[in-house]
Structure 1
Amino acid sequence: MTTVPEVVVLDHGSGNVRSVVRALEAADAHVQLTADREAALAADGLVVPGVGAYAATMDQVLAVGGDRIVERRLAGGLPVLGICVGLQIMFAAGTEHGVRSKGLDQWPGEVTRLEAEIVPHMGWNTVESPEGSVLFDGVAEERFYFVHSYAARSWELDSIGPLTPPLVTWAEHGGDRFVAAVENGALTATQFHPEKSGAAGARLLRNWLAALPRRGAGDEGTAP
């Protein structure tokens, strides 16, 4: 059983993913930047980054079969971390410039433009993390780095039966409250960039990595 977490950063053409790779390596993970299905399914954790437009990111993810990889991992309870637009595409849809695009539909709801005087929201911001958060352990009072014009500005997923309810972290910009992070079983995501958030972001990534179940060499990591 390996003690170093094996992580794949999904290589779907998103810009600046090298900073994500470096941040994870600095947090003591073994990291591959690839869109290879077998590697993505076998990893302890999968990171789905994203910058820029919602529709463009979705097109890129679909082009490398990322939708099927994410679906397969989550169906097996295997951890996935979305970052920035990688969080946004986990919702059912996103609307930019009057055009509505379908997302991965892991969560109900729509990503829309922030309603603040100054957009984009760019810079450091505090967050409101819920009690019991694993992701924000030790950094609940810290600031994180955001760069975005769109966000999920409501949360619509209800708790189902005995399942652990999602933990939703919020932030505010210009009086507009939006989803800053979600911890929902195997699916975790942040609207901010942990890889650009200094020591707080590094601690948050270590928290995520520490919670990954380590998979033995004999575990099944691929689908037929």
Structure 2
Amino acid sequence: MLGFLVGGALLLRHIPGLRHVLDSTDLLRAGLKGRALFVAGAAVWCAFGLPRQVAGFAAGLAYGLWEGTALITLASTAGCVAGFYWARWGGRDWARTKLGTRFARMDAMLTKQPFLSILTLRLLPVGSALLLNILGGVSGMRLLPFVGGTVLGGLPQNLVAVLLGSGVRLNAVWQTVLGGGLFLVSALFGMWLWRRSTMVSLLPQTEESKK
């Protein structure tokens, strides 16, 4: 399962067609067909864990702020759901068997607070969207909290990428500044949620911290 995802990501990086679709603003602006093409291409891009900021920047460049944000949010969420179901199909039984108690603790935490857990991890300024999709899939959480946390948690970074793309198109410096400020605020909020959540208990503790 992991080999397929990694291999697909490497392959997509070297296929000029998909990157050309995301870069071609004339093609993306071609009515409903162009928008459907963008959503499909960006969803595949995000499903393999490639940076959604690239697709978000293209959305801002092609569609502007509001439409671009809506389309990249739809596409990135669809890609995350695909990764979620792929992990549930291919990795859940393996994780339960091989990881034992460690997996049981993680699964209990995610099942108890699925929405808050995904929201917090999406807002953090570091981490892998692909690994988070896999984490959600191998856990026992339901799809709806995963989708809700993914949409809200991914919205700030999507909006930042779209702001930067639309700022280039409009040559608006304020949009770039606003995007940077939004990223900082969302990152700080994610870190605050992390410190208050039960997920911290999953981290290895030193002898000093145990005291």
TM superposition score normalised by structure 1: 0.25
Higher strand share: 1
TM superposition score normalised by structure 2: 0.26
Larger Rg: 1 or 2? 2
